[in-house]
Structure 1
Amino acid sequence: MDDQNKNLILATALSFLVILIWFVVFPPPEPTPAPEVTTGELTAPGDGLATAPTTAEAPAGSTLQVETRQETLAEAPRVEIDTPRLTGSISLLGGRIDDLSLKDYRETIDPQSPIVTLLSPVGTDSAYYALYGWAPGAGLTLDDVPGANTRWTLENGQTLGLDAPIVLAWTNDKGMTFRRTIGIDANFMFTVTQSVQNGSDMTASLAPYGVLARHGEPQDLRNFFILHEGLVAMADGKLTETDYSDMRDFAVDSREGARAEVTQVAENGWIGFTDHFWMTTLIPEPGSPFKSVAKYDEARDIYQAEAVLPTQTVAAGQSTTVTTMLFAGAKEWETLREYERSGIQNFVDSIDWGWFFFLTKPIFWLLHNIHALIGNMGWSIIGLTLIIKAILFPLAYKSYVSMAKMKELQPQMEALKEKAGDDRQKLQQGMMELYKKEKVNPAAGCLPILLQIPIFFSLYKVIFVTIELRHAPWFGPFQDLSAPDPTSIINLFGLLPNAAPEPGSLMATIFIGILPLLLGISMWVQQKLNPAPTDPTQQMIFAWMPWVFMFMLGSFASGLVVYWIANNTITFTQQYIIMRSQGYKPDVFGNIRSGFSRKAKTEKK
């Protein structure tokens, strides 16, 4: 292998090492408690109407301190939500969907830990809720339309459940009756139908809207570059991802009265907020136009996502109805795919597939289907590794044959180096002649290494961002493949009940678990089959690399380490078998005992 190709591999390996060190030295910051929020209401949407509201009043009974959840829930009458997958309630104050928890997901792997809370009412820490209403047009005022503080009456239904919608009603002083019918499916999709019956003697103009409001940044915000958390929107096939910090940098919109960005959607789109594993999204009916608004109210520290539908003109004695959907739940690939197939454009893209989406999507699809057959995510990752290695085998075969020939030529290369001395040009010419004579391509071993890098990062992305890997067990102490190895010499590699050092701590970096140890050993053994660099400095770097990686990857998701161990083991097995098939008999220390090599035959003669 000439110096140029060795330097290519060395530069690639060092770049990879720098990224790993960055992960350890600059890990994602720990979530910081959100500042105490006020209970001032969100900025109401408008669509350019002269009488569009700017702010709404604070809800009755609100206080300046953050109250307990139960105290806040008790401040207004509520309608219970109860489905196989969701539990919570809807406040009759504003008709807000502001109390929602996910029955299938817990905060930790402890089966007794609380279930995940997604939405919370105003007055609690990190309020987060969905609100619907009508923006008043000509002839109407804020008092004439339902908004954030309207006190609705439950007209029909008792508990919102499967095949059990509820109907809320409110009539203004002009005789206009507003109704809101809320239904829910077996997963996470609400259907919200807003209607108005104009019982007045005048024609009314008003625009229906839906709002998602989030008071302050979420407390568990990861702020990790590999993951998007914040606003996510689709507008006629174009996906937009905006961080919370970028929303704070929006220009002040004169029409909206806050920092805002407005997008006109012609036919298909949605807008909402995405967390690591959860999401809330406003979805107008496919095929209908609407105004998509991303807004930040700086004075109140409230982030908003809005879907404002076209203005409706309702003559006296007439009515109008508008239906939208609200997704509030877990970003399960299968669930999102079914909604996409039902007409919600590119809904699966709400999962952050990243720049290598052309790899992450098929890798996840393959892993998902393997898991459907095996039922265990750890063995599924190993099965995925086997399939990837099988796909790359034709390329790997050429590479390993080339590496075997290169290893056989090492004595001759050392001789050339001694003969050339400090004359690098003479050394290069001698190596090129040797490669040409022996029909060896020194670059053949580089491509498989380069291909492994995007595959590795794509799998890392899949393991990190997809909820299917969250709390996914393998066996024994490995009960969460999305978390670092929980074993350590401190707990005798999982034999003792005490916990390992906190992931990311200095103790955890030093006292690594069994998986990083196996990784280092597998890298070292696999490396011994490759031709060693002739440069002493490069030899030292490559010799240390398995052990450096072993410590660096100790804080990575254990599922990723399982993949790398499996990859190294399969690579070693393939390379060993191929080298033997070429007449070279390497041992684990990289020695060549070739009774069939041309060199050996020449020496006998």
Structure 2
Amino acid sequence: MDDQNKNLILATVLSFVVILVWFVMFPPPEPAPQDPNAAVTETDGTVPLAPSATAPAATGTADTGSAATETVAADAPRIDIDTDRLSGSISLLGGRIDDLKLNDYRETIDEDSPIVSFFSPSGEPSAYYALYGWAPGAGLTHDLVPGANTQWSLGAGDTLTVATPVTLEWNNGAGLTFRRTISIDENYMFSVEQSVENNGAGNVSLAPYGILARHGEPQDLKNFFILHEGLVAMADGELTEADYDDMTDYPFNQREGARAEVTQVNETGWIGFTDHYWMATLIPETGSPFKSVAKFDERRDIYQTEAVMPTLTVAQGTTAATTSRLFAGAKEWATIREYQNEGDVQGFLDSIDWGWFFFLTKPMFALLHYLNGIIGNMGWAIIGLTIAIKIIVFPLAYKSYASMAKMKELQPQMEALKEAAGDDKQKMQKGMMELYKKEKVNPASGCLPILIQIPIFFSLYKVIFVTLELRHAPWLGWITDLSAPDPSSILNLFGLLPFATPDPNSIIAIISLGILPILLGISMWLQQKLNPAPTDPTQQMIFAWMPWVFMFMLGSFASGLVLYWITNNVITFTQQYLIMRTHGYKPDVFGNIRSSFKRKSKTDAK
């Protein structure tokens, strides 16, 4: 290598080292953090932010939770909400919808039980409310736009009803007049129109937003694996669910000032919080982009969802307005379905937690709802649904029942093979396989009804546990709530003795069987007598105990689910009995039962 090439390589290496040292010692300034999901950017590259529901009062946003501020919030003037289904009030402090009761629902089945309280003001336990405002853009500050502590005045209307909306007004003293018109339909949907009139000296830019704020986790949080409670959101057809624990694990978002996840919604979406039976959801206009934010303020233990609409530039002498909706109420299937189909809230039915087997739970509940509409009683509707399911799966079960009948006929030959083989299990298995092949019997086909039953059972369990329509729904007699366990108890002879039933959460409640669980055990035991007994003694013992184990296991389950299982067992027993007779086998069920008792008596005597 000549000296010229050596010098070139040396110069290149030295230049690289110099550049590297320069960048280490004098790094370029980092660009300001930008949110790639921001809906609209200003000319200076910044994006207006919806203030936190817990921002300091001095900024024009919400209170800090101090005692003084809470007193002011409690004493603020209010506008009554009065519809057939909702009652409550709107605070003129921030224009918050923070007092809401669901008139059609009570805490318990007692007629004197309090009406369900949904929203509650800041300062009360588990405060939960909706608030709206404007995030300042270029040339504006927080004190020039309305926030959570803005003192609004009443512009029009004095009570919010289905027929009479109300309008709030606020003038910022710098040429901008803000108005908020709130209306409500006959169910649970609020419409909120926010407008700003610019009579100032120049153009202004600002972004309207809606916030749902929840102080701490709900007091009645179930934390049950089959039920989702927490964040629920739809973004351009994609559903997102997050538990409250998941929200506390969000990464800290410097821009939002809290643990947060931000999603840019391009056309359609909504975001809110779902409880077991109730839900609050922010719903921007369909076809309009918005920024969807799920946030947890760990300093004040507040969960928050936001819908930040696109920034509006309002010229001098003009007015700009935007409208969004707020669903706040019960998760009634028919009502939510109507909002989805007629109100253009896409994917709204998915706010109900249908689970992994949604392809079964959705049509299953639709049929249950239809039958309940015809019959007028959810208990009889469950029985009707069970009959419909059995009719649908009957072609699959028929072959299994026929195979069971054939297996019953082969029982004497199987017993003979067992005696001939003695302790030689290999010889026994070989003889059984030859017998099955000769008689063209598949012993595994008897498992088909059970395999079919598992997803159906789980799906119906999901439907009964999750859907509101089963809550406090009576059937007959002592079953006054199909979503709760059977209230009767064998411990007080089903009410004949003057003793109260044990607390459902106590250990003794395990043996406090009601009438329905006992009927379930008996129905499973009778059905078992139609099936061929296993040849292995251990398996025989397991199968013998199975009905009674299930009786105790399902004793604490919802009455509606136990009712389904009993009905299913009775229908299965009837179908199997008749099919066996049509194939030449006449099952002597009660004879088998008497034989079982005789064998047990002889064993006890020995």
Asked whether the two chains share a fold, i.e. TM above 0.5, the reply is: yes
Structure 1 residue aligned with 2:55 = 56
* Structure 2 residue matching 1:392: 3-state secondary structure: helix
* Structure 1 residue matching 2:589: 3-state secondary structure: coil
Structure 2 residue aligned with 1:290 = 290
Is 2:56–2:64's contact at 8 Å kept on the other side of the alignment?
A: no
Is 1:530–1:590's contact at 8 Å kept on the other side of the alignment?
A: no
Structure 2 residue aligned with 1:90 = 90
**After superposition, what is the alpha-carbon deviation per residue over 1:73-97, rounded to whole angstroms, capped at 9, x for unaligned?**
7411000000000000000000000
Q: Percent of aligned pairs with the same residue?
A: 73
Code of the residue aligned with 2:117 in structure 1: it is T
Alignment of 1:241-260 (within 5 A): 241-260=241-260
Code of the residue aligned with 2:331 in structure 1: it is K
Is 1:72–1:121's contact at 8 Å kept on the other side of the alignment?
A: no
For 1:60 and 1:213, how far apart are their aligned partners in 2? 12
Displacement of 1:436 in angstroms is 1.9
For 1:216 and 1:47, how far apart are their aligned partners in 2? 31
For 2:500 and 2:361, how far apart are their aligned partners in 1? 33
Alignment of 1:196-207 (within 5 A): 196-207=196-207
Code of the residue aligned with 2:558 in structure 1: it is A
Structure 1 residue aligned with 2:477 = 476
Structure 2 residue aligned with 1:505 = 506
Code of the residue aligned with 1:234 in structure 2: it is M
Code of the residue aligned with 2:519 in structure 1: it is L
Q: Name the stretch that deviates more: 485-494 or 149-158.
A: 485-494
Change (3 A) 1:318 1:590: farther
Is 1:292–1:308's contact at 8 Å kept on the other side of the alignment?
A: yes
Displacement of 1:165 in angstroms is 0.4
Displacement of 1:312 in angstroms is 0.7
For 1:424 and 1:284, how far apart are their aligned partners in 2? 70
Displacement of 1:416 in angstroms is 2.0
Alignment of 1:452-471 (within 5 A): 452-471=453-472
TM-score (norm 2): 0.87
Is 1:272–1:305's contact at 8 Å kept on the other side of the alignment?
A: yes
Code of the residue aligned with 1:470 in structure 2: it is R
Structure 1 residue aligned with 2:364 = 363
**After superposition, what is the alpha-carbon deviation per residue over 1:234-289, rounded to whole angstroms, capped at 9, x for unaligned?**
00110000000000000011110100000000100000000000000000011111
For 1:384 and 1:392, how far apart are their aligned partners in 2? 12
Is 1:182–1:192's contact at 8 Å kept on the other side of the alignment?
A: yes
Displacement of 1:428 in angstroms is 2.9
* Structure 1 residue matching 2:282: 3-state secondary structure: strand
For 2:464 and 2:113, how far apart are their aligned partners in 1? 23
Is 2:73–2:122's contact at 8 Å kept on the other side of the alignment?
A: no
Code of the residue aligned with 2:358 in structure 1: it is F
Q: Name the stretch that deviates more: 213-222 or 400-409.
A: 400-409
* Structure 2 residue matching 1:168: 3-state secondary structure: strand
* Structure 1 residue matching 2:362: 3-state secondary structure: helix
Alignment of 1:100-111 (within 5 A): 100-111=100-111
For 2:402 and 2:305, how far apart are their aligned partners in 1? 57
* Structure 2 residue matching 1:391: 3-state secondary structure: helix
* Structure 1 residue matching 2:451: 3-state secondary structure: helix
Displacement of 1:445 in angstroms is 1.2
Structure 2 residue aligned with 1:572 = 573
Rg (Cα) greater in structure? 2
Displacement of 1:505 in angstroms is 2.1
**After superposition, what is the alpha-carbon deviation per residue over 1:158-204, rounded to whole angstroms, capped at 9, x for unaligned?**
10001210000001121100000000000000000000001111111
Displacement of 1:65 in angstroms is 10
Structure 2 residue aligned with 1:388 = 389
Displacement of 1:496 in angstroms is 6.3
* Structure 2 residue matching 1:359: 3-state secondary structure: helix
Code of the residue aligned with 1:334 in structure 2: it is A
Structure 1 residue aligned with 2:188 = 188
For 2:63 and 2:156, how far apart are their aligned partners in 1? 25
For 1:581 and 1:46, how far apart are their aligned partners in 2? 69
Structure 1 residue aligned with 2:326 = 326
CA RMSD in angstroms comes to: 2.1
Displacement of 1:206 in angstroms is 0.5
For 1:272 and 1:494, how far apart are their aligned partners in 2? 45
* Structure 1 residue matching 2:350: 3-state secondary structure: helix
**After superposition, what is the alpha-carbon deviation per residue over 1:119-163, rounded to whole angstroms, capped at 9, x for unaligned?**
000010100000000000110000000001000011000100012
Alignment of 1:497-536 (within 5 A): 499-536=500-537
Aligned residue pair count: 546
Q: Does 1:406 align with 2:407?
A: yes
Is 1:86–1:188's contact at 8 Å kept on the other side of the alignment?
A: yes
Structure 1 residue aligned with 2:418 = 417
Is 1:521–1:546's contact at 8 Å kept on the other side of the alignment?
A: yes
TM-score (norm 1): 0.87
* Structure 1 residue matching 2:547: 3-state secondary structure: helix
- Highest RCO, 1 vs 2 (Cα 8 Å, sep ≥ 6): 1
Is 2:39–2:290's contact at 8 Å kept on the other side of the alignment?
A: no
Structure 2 residue aligned with 1:160 = 160
* Structure 1 residue matching 2:124: 3-state secondary structure: coil
Displacement of 1:431 in angstroms is 1.8
Structure 1 residue aligned with 2:3 = none
Displacement of 1:426 in angstroms is 3.2
Is 1:524–1:546's contact at 8 Å kept on the other side of the alignment?
A: yes
